[in-house]
Amino acid sequence: MTAQSNQDQIAYWNGKAGEKWAQEQAVLDRVMEPFAARLLQEARITAGMRVLDVGCGCGTPTLRASSLVGPTGSVVGVDISAPMIEKARAQSSGRANVQFVLADASTEKLDASFDVVMSRFGVMFFADPVAAFANLRSAMEPGGALTFVCWRAMAENPWASVPREITLGFVPPPEPSKPGAPGPFAFADRARIESILKSAGFGSIDITAFDADVVISETGIEDAVEFSTRLGPAGALLREAPDDVVRAARAALPAALAPFLDASKKRVAMPAATWIVHAT
């Protein structure tokens, strides 16, 4: 694996996608909250530990981990996206036990030895996942723990699949990705995750399903449509679409999202399915 392996992802997350995720941090943190909370619980972080957060984004899980390790511990967040790392650094002002590094975690040789490596949806984008996890393993103390959360199949994630299916009625379908190609759902196959981690030298692998509803809106259907067309698979399909196509897709989405609206007519919560992965 060479330093060029992840150039497509580096370009993507340093372009409009990275800028958009930085701008939408509050919304994304709300959507991902059930999984961030479970990740931190499963990572078993305690005072004094050294923690690496892979694909840290704007740094919310990183900062929460820094509160758990306290002044005697330290946390490093690493991400390939300059817009998100910039925002993470701004939000970490005054925290002496946190550092944010702009780097490719799949190849970067990190100086410290970590007790815990964790990731909230940040490890599915490696061009060579075996080499990437082997690199992360080399940065860990003997007996160190790896814990991450990743999406299961898109079909098990209505928050992603429902808007995508509606949007495909208005745009040409994208070319099919190769199985296991880097992307949000690259780790849908449990057996593949286990094989990758074993090949990278990890043991005591435990992979558990964790489902939760994600709140894509707290103010009603219109905001849910905004979320679905700005972010996620439907947003990706509409990114380069003409304005009239975007308007048509948006007009069709309320009916598809209505079954997920609660009695208050404000909160839109949709099912999401993940794996919680732990290894040593």
Helix (H) or strand (E) holding 139: none
pLDDT of residue 3: 41
Position 94 pLDDT exceeds 90: no
Output 174 or 203, whichever has higher pLDDT.
Answer: 203
Quick check: helix, strand or coil at residue 119? strand
Write out pLDDT tens, residues 46-89: 999 999 999 999 999 999 999 999 999 999 999 999 999 999 99
User: What are the boundaries of each domain within the chain?
Assistant: 7-153+176-212+272-279
- In sequence order, what are the beta bridge partners of 146? 117, 279
String of DSSP letters for 224-279? HHHHHHHSHHHHHHHTT--HHHHHHHHHHHHHHHGGGB-TTSS-EEEEEEEEEEEE
Between vectors from CA 18 to CA 12 and to CA 22, what angle results, nearest 5°?
Answer: 175
Query: Residue 131's pLDDT is what?
Result: 95
Q: Which of 105, 101, 83 is nearest to 6 (CA)?
A: 105
Query: Which residues on adjacent β-strands are paired with residue 212?
Result: 272
Determine the Cα–Cα distance for residues 35 and 137; give it in Å rounded to an integer.
Answer: 23
Provide the mean pLDDT of the chain.
94
Is the pLDDT confidence value at 44 over 80?
yes
Residue 109 has pLDDT above 60, yes or no: yes
Q: How far is CA 71 from CA 46, 97, 125, 173, in A?
A: 11, 6, 32, 51
| Model pLDDT for residues 191-228, shown as the tens digit of each residue | 999 999 999 999 999 999 999 999 999 999 999 999 99
CA atoms in the 13 A half-sphere facing the CB of 130: 10
The class (CATH top level) of 7-153+176-212+272-279 is: alpha beta
* Confidence tier at 5 by pLDDT (50, 70, 90): low
Q: Identify which of 195, 205, 53 has the alpha carbon closest to the alpha carbon of residue 187.
A: 195
Amino acid at 156: E
Q: How confident is the model at residue 178 (pLDDT cuts 50, 70, 90)?
A: confident
Residue 182 confidence (pLDDT) above 90: yes
Give how far the C-alpha of residue 84 lies from the chain's centroid of Cα atoms, to the nearest Å: 13
Question: DSSP per residue over 40-102, as a string?
Answer: HHHHT--TT-EEEEET-TTSHHHHHHHHHH-TT-EEEEEES-HHHHHHHHHHTTT-TTEEEEE
Q: Confirm whether pTM is higher than 0.75.
A: yes
- Pairwise CA distance, residues 216 & 128, whole Å: 32
pLDDT range class, residue 179, cuts 50, 70, 90: confident
- Type and span of the H or E element at 140: strand 140-151
Is residue 253 packed enough to be buried (19+ CB in 10 Å), middle (13-18) or exposed (0-12)?
buried
